[in-house]
Chain A
Amino acid sequence: MTLKYAYFPGCVAQGACRELYQSTNALTQALGIELVELKKASCCGSGTFKEDSQLLEDTVNARNIALAESLDLPLLTHCSTCQGVIGHVDERLKAAQANNPAYLEEVNGFLKQEGCSPYKGSTTVKHLLWALVGDYGLANVQQRVTHKLAGLKCAAFYGCYLLRAQDQIPFDDPHSPESMENVFRAIGATPVYYRGRTQCCGWPLSSYATTQSFQMAGRHIQEAIALEADCMVTPCPLCHLNLDSRQPEVETVIGQKLGLPVLHLSQLVALALGVQPKELGLDRHIVSTRPVLEKLGL
């Protein structure tokens, strides 16, 4: 049976990380997964709506989830932050159905006034990582591998919202996750375990406290390099912005040359499935991904 999802692209994959948009499409095509893009969806607020108002975050994301519910499909994210925000709204509204129906009524009242479908609580919100591990199955991914990434040492960088924003997450212990590392093993790569893999990249501070933000990113990259990682791999484009796009500034703040390539999860898996690097936008990173491709003989 073909897996099919209501695809929530998010802002960054349509802006500063278009290579993610491109590579998620390439990956799902290669795996035979069907995506129906939610063209009418909107930004989840990246945790910032909630700082203004919980009701705002809940209402905007109830609309996003209801768009997927109308298609009778699970909502698929490929960003840790989108996942944590929308996934937690889904948890909160499902709990409200049982414990606080007046609140859900208030949220649905707003949706109704705008002609949106109401939130029903009839679907699930899942990250591409969880779809690969739980729905597609890593054994099935492994069967489709044409270019085993043998010898490539990958340091996972999960993103806070994927691990800790929701009350419950599937598969992983939030302090000692294994999903990313299991994906690496399935495609022949070698996981590198380091302290920073579950920590914050510093992105939320990057617009106004660059020193703190870049120190955070710098420590993680240094650790990964010290353990001889060939690259970092992240399921979060916001982490990618701080770890890749800002890496030259990170180097200035910590006073050390780094040059560690940072790949999106979709890019890494698609490489193992034989998708050409060019199709994955690997030439459009700030830190050159060439050392990774050379190591893989691509």
Chain B
Amino acid sequence: MQVLFKIVRQQANSAPQFQTYKLEVDPGNTVLDCLNRIKWEQDGSLAFRKNCRNTICGSCGMRINGRSALACKESIRHEVARLQQITDANTSVSHDGGIPTITIAPMGNMPVIKDLIVDMTSFWDNLKAVDPYVSTEARQVPEREFLQTPEERDRLNQTGNCILCGACYSECNARDVDPTFVGPHALAKAYRMVADSRDSKTEERLEDYSQGTKGVWGCTRCYYCNEVCPMDVAPMDQIGKIKQEILDRQTEQTSRPVRHRKVLIDLVKQGGWIDERRFGLRVVGNSFRDINGIVSLGPLGLRMLARGKFPFSFEPSAGTAQVRSLIERVQTAELDTPPQS
């Protein structure tokens, strides 16, 4: 079949341009097979990273038809079918059966060096920032290797699958606005360390990962990392597990992100639904302890009053007592048998 490849061409610090190449391909070809053929047969100047061709090395991350993926993993058949579904879903587009066009662009959140090659320096630096090694202090036990039970080892499988391709980092909405946030790849690795029974720095790590927005509280839960990860590492879920460990250890007074989580559960216990007025006062205003917080809510409150939007009343759910009791029962059961994270 014939396929058009519309590829972003770009030199560092210059404006990107599209260049289109036409290829006769087999539907079973991967996008990487096709890029190789373009480079070898049509245009040797096209630049992209590649190595293993088999979803192992993580080199060929790029944006294929609007989302970050591995060129060696996505087949032409799959991409063309996906494009067809998107076109079919649009009620205004006529389906003329023209030559399908696969669009390829460099990954996001990293500067372009050339064409599809991005500078991944910040990606690697952020990985280093979470201290991604099992603590060596734990290696002082002299007589034998560190043993783990199969269950303890199994806890590392999902995060261990990460091949550091950069797809999650490329789509991360928090990275887009926060240069201090280390990113989903680093925090998935951070959870791999927290979950490792051989590591002796758990408490130090949790303290570090809960600082400001560089760690877990910088995640805005956009779900992009989970969506694009080619290895099902589900970075956002791993970030959530670090948060669980932190919430088990810290109190409402430790920080506003922790207060946000604890107050939310408390308010659901009190009203079934969340009384947003009290949520603001307790989380941002820290129940009148944080004067700056209270002041920061002022303009919002006044605007809402002025526009008739301020909720003057709150009606608890008719099921509040049942929900409260249910939440308490789950919480008590979990205290008795802490979940295996």
Measuring CB to CB, which residues of chain A are less than 8 angstroms from any residue of chain B? 10-12, 14-19, 39-43, 45-56, 59-60, 63, 67, 84, 110-111, 113-116, 138, 160-161, 163-165, 171-179, 181-182, 185-186, 199-200, 202, 204-205, 207-210, 212-213, 215-216, 219, 245-246, 248-249, 283-286
Contacts and interface: CB of A to CB of B under 8 A. Distances in A.
A68 B86 CA distance: 32
A144 B185 CA distance: 49
Contacts of B327: 56, 60
Contacts of B329: 110, 113-114
B291 interface: no
B268 interface: yes
Interface string B293-316: 000100110011001111100110
B102 interface: no
B240 A248 contact: no
A101 to B, nearest CB: 18
A52 B300 CA distance: 29
A122 to B, nearest CB: 20
A34 B89 CA distance: 27
B66 A175 contact: yes
A285 B307 CA distance: 6
Interface in B131-185: 173-174, 176-178
Given A56-B327, A205-B218, 6 more contacts: A15-B314, A39-B317, A50-B240, A55-B339, A110-B326, A284-B308
A14 B312 CA distance: 11
A207 B222 contact: no
A113 B226 CA distance: 35
Contacts of A60: 268, 323, 326-327, 330
B300 A246 contact: yes
Interface stretch (B29-37, B38-46, B255-263): B255-263
B309 A284 contact: yes
B220 interface: yes
B79 to A, nearest CB: 12
A265 B268 CA distance: 27
Nearest to B267: A43
Shortest beta-carbon contacts, A-B, top 7: A40-B319, A164-B223, A200-B222, A208-B256, A178-B89, A200-B173, A42-B272
Interface stretch (B70-78, B116-124, B273-281): B273-281
Contacts of B173: 160, 199-200, 216
Interface size class for chain B?
A: 35 or more
B2 interface: no
Contact of A59 (B261, B317, B330): B330
B323 A63 contact: yes
A248 B303 contact: yes
Given A160-B222, A171-B89, A174-B227, A15 B276 contact: yes
A116 B326 contact: yes
B322 A115 contact: yes
Contacts of B314: 15
12 contacts: A15-B311, A42-B320, A45-B264, A55-B334, A55-B339, A60-B268, A160-B173, A163-B223, A164-B224, A200-B222, A208-B217, A219-B176
Contact of A182 (B89, B221, B310, B334): B89
B329 to A, nearest CB: 6
A220 to B, nearest CB: 10
A174 to B, nearest CB: 6
Residue from the set A17, A175, A286 with the largest chain B CB neighbour count within 10 Å: A175
Residue from the set A19, A51, A208 with the largest chain B CB neighbour count within 10 Å: A51
B54 interface: no
Contacts of B265: 45, 48-49, 52, 56
B52 to A, nearest CB: 25
A284 B317 contact: no
Interface in B62-99: 65-67, 82, 85-86, 89-92
B330 A245 contact: no
B90 A207 contact: no
